[in-house]
Structure 1
Protein backbone atom coordinates (compact mmCIF):
# COMPACT_ATOMS: atom_id res chain seq x y z
CA UNK A 1 0.00 0.00 0.00
CA UNK A 2 2.77 2.41 0.94
CA UNK A 3 4.72 1.53 -2.23
CA UNK A 4 1.60 2.18 -4.30
CA UNK A 5 1.18 5.67 -2.81
CA UNK A 6 4.86 6.50 -3.50
CA UNK A 7 4.42 5.39 -7.10
CA UNK A 8 1.31 7.59 -7.53
CA UNK A 9 3.01 10.60 -5.96
CA UNK A 10 6.08 10.13 -8.19
CA UNK A 11 3.83 9.80 -11.26
CA UNK A 12 1.87 12.95 -10.39
CA UNK A 13 5.11 14.93 -9.84
CA UNK A 14 6.53 13.70 -13.17
CA UNK A 15 3.34 14.59 -15.07
CA UNK A 16 3.20 18.02 -13.42
CA UNK A 17 6.81 18.81 -14.38
CA UNK A 18 6.30 17.51 -17.94
CA UNK A 19 3.10 19.56 -18.36
CA UNK A 20 4.84 22.69 -17.04
CA UNK A 21 7.74 22.17 -19.46
CA UNK A 22 5.38 21.75 -22.43
CA UNK A 23 3.30 24.81 -21.50
CA UNK A 24 6.34 27.03 -20.87
CA UNK A 25 8.06 25.98 -24.10
CA UNK A 26 5.01 26.75 -26.22
CA UNK A 27 4.09 30.06 -24.62
CA UNK A 28 6.50 32.47 -26.41
CA UNK A 29 7.46 31.51 -29.97
CA UNK A 30 9.87 34.48 -30.36
CA UNK A 31 12.04 33.65 -27.34
CA UNK A 32 15.33 31.85 -28.00
CA UNK A 33 15.70 30.88 -24.39
CA UNK A 34 18.35 31.86 -21.91
CA UNK A 35 21.92 32.32 -23.05
CA UNK A 36 24.83 30.86 -21.19
CA UNK A 37 28.33 32.33 -21.50
CA UNK A 38 27.49 34.86 -24.19
CA UNK A 39 31.18 35.62 -24.85
CA UNK A 40 31.53 32.09 -26.25
CA UNK A 41 29.03 32.93 -29.00
CA UNK A 42 30.37 36.38 -29.88
CA UNK A 43 34.17 36.24 -30.17
CA UNK A 44 36.12 39.36 -29.33
CA UNK A 45 38.70 38.86 -32.09
CA UNK A 46 38.26 40.45 -35.50
CA UNK A 47 37.70 38.29 -38.57
CA UNK A 48 40.34 38.84 -41.28
CA UNK A 49 37.83 40.49 -43.64
CA UNK A 50 36.31 42.86 -41.06
CA UNK A 51 37.17 46.55 -40.90
CA UNK A 52 39.43 47.40 -37.98
CA UNK A 53 39.80 50.91 -36.56
CA UNK A 54 43.03 49.94 -34.77
CA UNK A 55 45.07 50.11 -38.00
CA UNK A 56 45.67 53.17 -40.15
CA UNK A 57 44.37 51.51 -43.31
CA UNK A 58 41.26 50.16 -41.54
CA UNK A 59 41.96 46.52 -42.43
CA UNK A 60 42.27 43.60 -40.04
CA UNK A 61 44.38 41.44 -42.37
CA UNK A 62 47.70 43.23 -42.69
CA UNK A 63 50.45 42.56 -45.20
CA UNK A 64 53.47 41.03 -43.43
CA UNK A 65 56.53 43.28 -43.19
CA UNK A 66 59.10 42.96 -45.95
CA UNK A 67 61.72 40.17 -45.62
CA UNK A 68 59.72 38.24 -43.00
CA UNK A 69 58.45 34.69 -43.15
CA UNK A 70 56.37 32.36 -40.99
CA UNK A 71 57.91 30.47 -38.09
CA UNK A 72 59.57 27.28 -39.30
CA UNK A 73 60.00 28.57 -42.87
CA UNK A 74 63.62 29.67 -42.85
CA UNK A 75 63.84 29.44 -46.61
CA UNK A 76 67.13 28.63 -48.30
CA UNK A 77 65.42 29.03 -51.69
CA UNK A 78 65.45 32.81 -51.38
CA UNK A 79 68.95 32.55 -52.89
CA UNK A 80 67.55 30.39 -55.70
CA UNK A 81 64.68 32.14 -57.50
CA UNK A 82 62.03 30.41 -59.58
CA UNK A 83 63.94 30.73 -62.85
CA UNK A 84 65.88 28.27 -65.02
CA UNK A 85 69.10 29.82 -63.72
CA UNK A 86 67.88 29.48 -60.12
CA UNK A 87 67.07 25.81 -60.75
CA UNK A 88 70.53 25.13 -62.20
CA UNK A 89 72.24 27.06 -59.40
CA UNK A 90 70.23 25.16 -56.74
CA UNK A 91 71.21 21.91 -58.45
CA UNK A 92 74.90 22.75 -58.14
CA UNK A 93 75.03 24.46 -54.75
CA UNK A 94 72.13 23.33 -52.58
CA UNK A 95 72.84 20.20 -50.51
CA UNK A 96 70.57 18.38 -48.08
CA UNK A 97 71.43 19.56 -44.55
CA UNK A 98 69.71 16.59 -42.88
CA UNK A 99 71.60 13.41 -42.01
CA UNK A 100 70.50 10.31 -43.87
CA UNK A 101 68.87 8.35 -41.06
CA UNK A 102 66.17 5.70 -40.94
CA UNK A 103 63.87 8.10 -39.05
CA UNK A 104 64.29 10.84 -41.68
CA UNK A 105 63.69 8.35 -44.50
CA UNK A 106 60.55 7.01 -42.81
CA UNK A 107 59.17 10.50 -42.31
CA UNK A 108 60.10 11.37 -45.89
CA UNK A 109 58.22 8.29 -47.07
CA UNK A 110 55.15 9.30 -45.06
CA UNK A 111 55.26 12.89 -46.38
CA UNK A 112 55.76 11.61 -49.92
CA UNK A 113 52.72 9.33 -49.50
CA UNK A 114 50.61 12.28 -48.35
CA UNK A 115 51.77 14.91 -50.83
CA UNK A 116 53.18 13.17 -53.92
CA UNK A 117 51.69 9.74 -54.58
CA UNK A 118 48.53 11.10 -56.19
CA UNK A 119 50.61 11.94 -59.28
CA UNK A 120 54.00 10.23 -58.89
CA UNK A 121 52.67 6.92 -57.51
CA UNK A 122 53.91 4.89 -54.54
CA UNK A 123 57.10 3.81 -56.28
CA UNK A 124 57.74 7.01 -58.25
CA UNK A 125 56.83 5.49 -61.62
CA UNK A 126 54.35 8.28 -62.48
CA UNK A 127 51.31 6.05 -62.03
CA UNK A 128 49.40 7.83 -59.29
CA UNK A 129 45.62 7.82 -58.81
CA UNK A 130 45.18 11.18 -60.58
CA UNK A 131 47.06 9.89 -63.63
CA UNK A 132 44.84 6.80 -63.76
CA UNK A 133 41.84 9.07 -64.38
CA UNK A 134 43.49 9.82 -67.76
CA UNK A 135 42.79 13.54 -67.48
CA UNK A 136 46.34 14.56 -66.57
CA UNK A 137 49.65 13.58 -68.14
CA UNK A 138 51.85 11.22 -66.16
CA UNK A 139 54.97 12.69 -64.58
CA UNK A 140 58.21 10.95 -65.59
CA UNK A 141 59.44 7.99 -63.57
CA UNK A 142 62.15 8.84 -61.03
CA UNK A 143 64.23 5.84 -62.08
CA UNK A 144 63.88 5.76 -65.87
CA UNK A 145 62.22 8.99 -67.02
CA UNK A 146 63.64 12.12 -68.59
CA UNK A 147 63.27 15.49 -66.87
CA UNK A 148 61.45 18.22 -68.80
CA UNK A 149 64.39 20.46 -67.86
CA UNK A 150 66.96 18.10 -69.34
CA UNK A 151 68.74 15.01 -68.04
CA UNK A 152 67.49 11.83 -66.46
CA UNK A 153 65.19 11.89 -63.45
CA UNK A 154 67.52 9.43 -61.70
CA UNK A 155 70.33 12.01 -61.96
CA UNK A 156 68.48 14.85 -60.20
CA UNK A 157 70.51 16.32 -57.33
CA UNK A 158 69.32 17.39 -53.88
CA UNK A 159 69.04 21.01 -54.94
CA UNK A 160 67.10 20.30 -58.13
CA UNK A 161 64.55 18.13 -56.32
CA UNK A 162 64.21 20.66 -53.49
CA UNK A 163 63.79 23.53 -55.97
CA UNK A 164 61.11 21.59 -57.88
CA UNK A 165 59.18 20.71 -54.71
CA UNK A 166 59.40 24.33 -53.60
CA UNK A 167 58.30 26.07 -56.80
CA UNK A 168 56.71 23.28 -58.85
CA UNK A 169 57.18 22.66 -62.56
CA UNK A 170 54.77 22.11 -65.48
CA UNK A 171 51.52 20.68 -64.00
CA UNK A 172 53.03 20.31 -60.52
CA UNK A 173 52.18 23.22 -58.24
CA UNK A 174 54.46 24.72 -55.60
CA UNK A 175 54.60 23.05 -52.19
CA UNK A 176 56.52 25.73 -50.30
CA UNK A 177 53.46 26.67 -48.24
CA UNK A 178 52.30 23.12 -47.49
CA UNK A 179 55.68 21.73 -46.45
CA UNK A 180 58.39 23.25 -44.28
CA UNK A 181 61.95 23.18 -45.63
CA UNK A 182 62.79 20.32 -43.25
CA UNK A 183 59.84 18.29 -44.56
CA UNK A 184 60.89 18.99 -48.15
CA UNK A 185 64.45 17.80 -47.41
CA UNK A 186 63.06 14.57 -45.98
CA UNK A 187 61.05 14.02 -49.17
CA UNK A 188 64.26 14.67 -51.15
CA UNK A 189 65.93 11.84 -49.26
CA UNK A 190 63.05 9.49 -50.05
CA UNK A 191 62.99 10.50 -53.72
CA UNK A 192 66.67 9.50 -53.93
CA UNK A 193 65.59 6.03 -52.76
CA UNK A 194 62.95 5.92 -55.51
CA UNK A 195 65.56 6.93 -58.09
CA UNK A 196 67.38 3.65 -57.36
CA UNK A 197 64.33 1.46 -58.18
CA UNK A 198 64.17 -0.23 -61.59
Structure 2
Protein backbone atom coordinates (compact mmCIF):
# COMPACT_ATOMS: atom_id res chain seq x y z
CA UNK A 1 0.00 0.00 0.00
CA UNK A 2 3.00 2.25 -0.42
CA UNK A 3 1.49 3.75 -3.56
CA UNK A 4 -2.30 3.87 -3.60
CA UNK A 5 -3.79 3.33 -7.07
CA UNK A 6 -6.75 5.60 -6.25
CA UNK A 7 -7.01 9.16 -7.48
CA UNK A 8 -6.79 12.04 -5.05
CA UNK A 9 -9.50 14.68 -4.84
CA UNK A 10 -9.45 17.01 -7.89
CA UNK A 11 -6.59 15.06 -9.48
CA UNK A 12 -6.72 15.01 -13.29
CA UNK A 13 -7.92 11.70 -14.71
CA UNK A 14 -6.87 11.08 -18.29
CA UNK A 15 -9.42 8.26 -18.71
CA UNK A 16 -12.35 10.69 -18.99
CA UNK A 17 -12.91 13.50 -21.47
CA UNK A 18 -13.78 15.97 -18.72
CA UNK A 19 -10.64 14.89 -16.76
CA UNK A 20 -12.54 14.71 -13.46
CA UNK A 21 -11.52 12.01 -11.00
CA UNK A 22 -14.62 12.41 -8.80
CA UNK A 23 -17.43 10.57 -10.60
CA UNK A 24 -21.15 10.37 -9.94
CA UNK A 25 -22.57 6.92 -9.17
CA UNK A 26 -23.99 4.99 -12.09
CA UNK A 27 -27.62 5.92 -12.79
CA UNK A 28 -29.99 3.57 -10.98
CA UNK A 29 -27.42 2.37 -8.44
CA UNK A 30 -28.71 1.85 -4.90
CA UNK A 31 -26.60 2.47 -1.79
CA UNK A 32 -25.80 -0.52 0.38
CA UNK A 33 -28.43 -1.20 3.07
CA UNK A 34 -30.83 1.29 1.45
CA UNK A 35 -34.48 0.36 1.88
CA UNK A 36 -36.71 1.72 -0.85
CA UNK A 37 -39.75 3.69 0.34
CA UNK A 38 -41.89 4.51 -2.67
CA UNK A 39 -44.16 7.07 -1.01
CA UNK A 40 -43.36 10.77 -1.47
CA UNK A 41 -43.47 13.33 1.31
CA UNK A 42 -46.86 14.71 0.30
CA UNK A 43 -50.51 14.30 1.25
CA UNK A 44 -50.92 11.91 -1.69
CA UNK A 45 -47.96 9.83 -0.46
CA UNK A 46 -49.40 9.89 3.06
CA UNK A 47 -52.80 8.65 1.88
CA UNK A 48 -51.22 5.99 -0.37
CA UNK A 49 -49.01 4.74 2.48
CA UNK A 50 -52.06 4.64 4.74
CA UNK A 51 -53.94 2.56 2.20
CA UNK A 52 -51.13 0.20 1.14
CA UNK A 53 -48.78 -0.39 4.08
CA UNK A 54 -49.38 -2.86 6.88
CA UNK A 55 -47.07 -3.51 9.81
CA UNK A 56 -44.99 -6.61 8.95
CA UNK A 57 -44.21 -7.35 12.60
CA UNK A 58 -46.34 -9.52 14.83
CA UNK A 59 -47.88 -7.68 17.75
CA UNK A 60 -46.35 -9.47 20.72
CA UNK A 61 -44.80 -8.58 24.07
CA UNK A 62 -41.23 -8.46 22.72
CA UNK A 63 -42.05 -6.11 19.82
CA UNK A 64 -44.25 -3.91 22.01
CA UNK A 65 -41.50 -3.65 24.63
CA UNK A 66 -39.03 -2.62 21.93
CA UNK A 67 -41.58 -0.15 20.54
CA UNK A 68 -42.03 1.33 24.01
CA UNK A 69 -38.26 1.67 24.46
CA UNK A 70 -37.91 3.42 21.09
CA UNK A 71 -40.94 5.63 21.77
CA UNK A 72 -39.42 6.62 25.11
CA UNK A 73 -36.14 7.58 23.42
CA UNK A 74 -37.45 9.34 20.32
CA UNK A 75 -41.06 10.41 20.89
CA UNK A 76 -41.93 10.84 24.56
CA UNK A 77 -40.22 14.23 24.96
CA UNK A 78 -43.00 15.78 22.81
CA UNK A 79 -45.86 13.25 22.73
CA UNK A 80 -45.71 12.39 26.44
CA UNK A 81 -45.59 9.07 28.24
CA UNK A 82 -49.22 8.26 27.48
CA UNK A 83 -49.33 9.87 24.03
CA UNK A 84 -51.53 12.77 25.10
CA UNK A 85 -49.22 15.48 23.71
CA UNK A 86 -47.94 16.48 27.14
CA UNK A 87 -44.25 15.71 26.85
CA UNK A 88 -41.47 17.48 28.70
CA UNK A 89 -40.72 19.89 25.81
CA UNK A 90 -44.37 20.84 25.52
CA UNK A 91 -44.48 21.61 29.24
CA UNK A 92 -42.04 24.48 28.70
CA UNK A 93 -44.74 26.41 26.84
CA UNK A 94 -42.43 27.11 23.90
CA UNK A 95 -44.08 24.59 21.57
CA UNK A 96 -47.71 23.77 20.80
CA UNK A 97 -48.74 20.27 21.86
CA UNK A 98 -49.09 17.50 19.30
CA UNK A 99 -52.55 15.92 19.18
CA UNK A 100 -53.38 13.13 21.61
CA UNK A 101 -53.23 9.65 20.07
CA UNK A 102 -56.49 8.67 21.73
CA UNK A 103 -58.64 11.79 21.42
CA UNK A 104 -56.86 14.23 19.11
CA UNK A 105 -57.53 15.16 15.50
CA UNK A 106 -54.79 14.82 12.89
CA UNK A 107 -53.75 17.99 11.06
CA UNK A 108 -54.27 15.95 7.88
CA UNK A 109 -57.83 15.10 8.91
CA UNK A 110 -59.41 12.29 10.87
CA UNK A 111 -59.07 11.10 14.42
CA UNK A 112 -55.60 10.16 15.63
CA UNK A 113 -56.85 6.87 17.09
CA UNK A 114 -58.05 5.84 13.60
CA UNK A 115 -54.67 6.32 11.87
CA UNK A 116 -53.49 3.27 9.94
CA UNK A 117 -50.07 1.66 10.26
CA UNK A 118 -48.97 3.21 6.97
CA UNK A 119 -49.98 6.74 7.96
CA UNK A 120 -48.09 6.56 11.25
CA UNK A 121 -45.04 5.03 9.53
CA UNK A 122 -45.12 7.76 6.83
CA UNK A 123 -45.31 10.47 9.50
CA UNK A 124 -42.37 9.03 11.43
CA UNK A 125 -40.38 8.81 8.19
CA UNK A 126 -41.08 12.33 6.87
CA UNK A 127 -42.41 14.25 9.87
CA UNK A 128 -45.25 16.75 9.86
CA UNK A 129 -45.65 20.33 11.12
CA UNK A 130 -43.10 20.84 13.93
CA UNK A 131 -42.22 17.14 14.05
CA UNK A 132 -39.14 16.61 11.94
CA UNK A 133 -38.39 13.48 9.94
CA UNK A 134 -36.97 10.56 11.89
CA UNK A 135 -35.85 8.37 8.96
CA UNK A 136 -32.19 9.03 9.73
CA UNK A 137 -32.52 8.26 13.45
CA UNK A 138 -34.91 5.29 13.38
CA UNK A 139 -34.48 2.44 10.90
CA UNK A 140 -37.55 0.94 9.16
CA UNK A 141 -37.92 -2.02 11.56
CA UNK A 142 -37.80 0.36 14.52
CA UNK A 143 -40.39 2.64 12.89
CA UNK A 144 -42.79 -0.30 12.59
CA UNK A 145 -42.31 -1.14 16.28
CA UNK A 146 -42.96 2.47 17.28
CA UNK A 147 -46.08 2.37 15.09
CA UNK A 148 -47.24 -0.74 16.95
CA UNK A 149 -46.69 0.95 20.31
CA UNK A 150 -48.51 4.14 19.22
CA UNK A 151 -51.57 2.00 18.44
CA UNK A 152 -51.38 0.58 21.97
CA UNK A 153 -51.27 4.10 23.43
CA UNK A 154 -54.29 5.10 21.35
CA UNK A 155 -56.20 2.04 22.59
CA UNK A 156 -55.19 2.65 26.20
CA UNK A 157 -56.46 6.22 26.03
CA UNK A 158 -59.86 5.15 24.74
CA UNK A 159 -60.50 2.49 27.36
CA UNK A 160 -63.92 2.85 28.97
CA UNK A 161 -63.98 4.78 32.21
CA UNK A 162 -64.44 2.72 35.36
CA UNK A 163 -68.06 2.30 36.39
CA UNK A 164 -69.27 5.10 38.62
CA UNK A 165 -69.77 4.11 42.22
CA UNK A 166 -73.29 3.89 43.50
CA UNK A 167 -74.00 7.37 44.89
CA UNK A 168 -76.93 6.06 46.94
CA UNK A 169 -74.70 3.92 49.13
CA UNK A 170 -74.06 5.28 52.60
CA UNK A 171 -70.63 6.88 52.93
CA UNK A 172 -68.16 5.07 55.12
CA UNK A 173 -67.84 6.62 58.54
CA UNK A 174 -64.23 7.67 58.96
CA UNK A 175 -64.74 8.93 62.51
CA UNK A 176 -65.20 5.48 64.06
CA UNK A 177 -62.48 4.73 66.58
CA UNK A 178 -60.14 1.94 65.55
CA UNK A 179 -59.40 -0.43 68.46
TM-score in same-fold range (> 0.5): yes
Structure having the higher helix fraction is 1
Report the TM-score when normalising by structure 2.
0.73
Aligned to 1:129, the other structure's residue is in SS state coil
CA RMSD of aligned residues (A): 2.3
Report the TM-score when normalising by structure 1.
0.67
Name the larger-Rg structure: 1
Query: Which residue is 1:68 aligned to?
Result: 30
Poorly superposed stretches of 4+, deviation over 2 Å: 50-59, 62-67
**Which residues of 2 match residues 1-198 of structure 1 at below 5 A?**
51=9, 53=11, 57=20, 66-71=28-33, 73-75=34-36, 77-78=37-38, 80-198=39-157
Distance in 1 (CA, whole Å) between partners of 2:31 and 2:46 is 22
Q: Which runs of 5+ in 1 are unaligned?
A: 1-43, 45-49
Q: Which runs of 5+ in 2 are unaligned?
A: 14-18, 158-179
Q: How far has the Cα of 1:67 moved from its partner?
A: 4.6
Q: How far has the Cα of 1:197 moved from its partner?
A: 2.1
Question: Across the two proteins, how many residue pairs are aligned to each other?
Answer: 146
Aligned to 2:156, the other structure's residue is in SS state coil
